[in-house]
Amino acid sequence: MPTPHIQAERGDFADTVLLPGDPLRAQYIAETFLTDVRRVNAVRNMYGYTGRYRGRAISVMGSGMGIPSISIYAKELITDYDVKRLVRVGSCGAVRDDAQLRDIVIGMGACTDSKVNRIRFMDHDLAAIADFTLVRRTVEAAEHKGLPVAVGNLFSTDLFYSPQEELADMMKRYGIVGVEMEAAGFYGVAAEFGARALTVCTVSDHILRGESLSSEERQSSFDDMMEIALEGVLRDDNPAGV
């Protein structure tokens, strides 16, 4: 049954979905990494595809920007399309001195200035965390490829253009590995509806040094991250057999 935001039938999505914010990055991932691809959603141009990665059924769909947008798609994928495992593959800003553009970070947890998890958790603080085994298998996939990853806390902000000038310095003091706009709410949705979630990001900007990648590079140059995310899924299926 289609939802207001996804025009697909039950069964059109695999049990595992990669979620880049940008629907054109979803198209790029489908065309570059998957075989037997078919498009399963185009509502609002939020493209979704299902195909195979090394024989395993995988879907990929754009999630849009910000917690409200990813919360709609993640919730509908879990409750209406039986998706069990969701991996956000995003871009993020960095604040730490040791971070470089194109570094890959994994969000073991996510802080936020959003109120969504308090809304869902009776105004208490929900620890917004990734699925541990997905973190572990994805780190193993990165190690196998010889790619360094920083695993730690993300900060999911509602304001890309924050008026709080001191915020980036505070995040640096707390060792935040990446600043993006979805993970904390995304992990909250997964906790609420009983799915497993992970966020992997590539550093596209250094907020304090004023460095950044172009929009074209953000769309199509994150191949190492995609491979780590996909290989992490295969290892999660079968830790001994990859």
For residue 107, state whether it binds ligand R1P (rule: CB under 6 A).
no
Residues 6+ apart with CB under 8 A from 184: 67, 110, 111, 112, 114, 116, 117, 128, 154, 156
Q: Which of 205, 223, 224, 237 is catalytic?
A: 205
Site for ligand R1P in 23-42 (CB under 6 A): none
What values do phi and psi take at 146, rounded to 5?
Answer: 70, 25
- 21 vs 232, which CB is nearer to ligand R1P? 21
CA torsion sign for 85, 214, 151, 242 is: positive
Question: Is 113 labeled as catalytic in the residue annotation?
Answer: no
| 119, 47 contact by CB (below 8 A) | no
Could you tell which of ligand URA, ligand R1P, none binds residue 65, using a CB distance below 5 to 8 A set by kind? ligand R1P
Looking at residue 46, its amino acid is M
Instruction: Give the x-and-dash track for 36-75 against ligand URA (CB under 6 A).
Output: ----------------------------------------
Flag whether 54 is marked binding: no
Q: Do the beta carbons of residue 110 and residue 204 sit within 8 Å?
A: no
By CB under 6 A, tell whether 93 contacts ligand URA.
Answer: yes
Is 44 assigned a ligand-binding role in the annotation?
yes
d(CA 177, CA 22): 21
Q: What residues from 154 to 193 belong to the interface with ligand R1P (CB under 6 A)?
A: 160, 180-182
Q: Which residues bind ligand R1P (CB under 6 A)?
A: 20-22, 65, 90-91, 160, 180-182, 218
Catalytic residues: 205
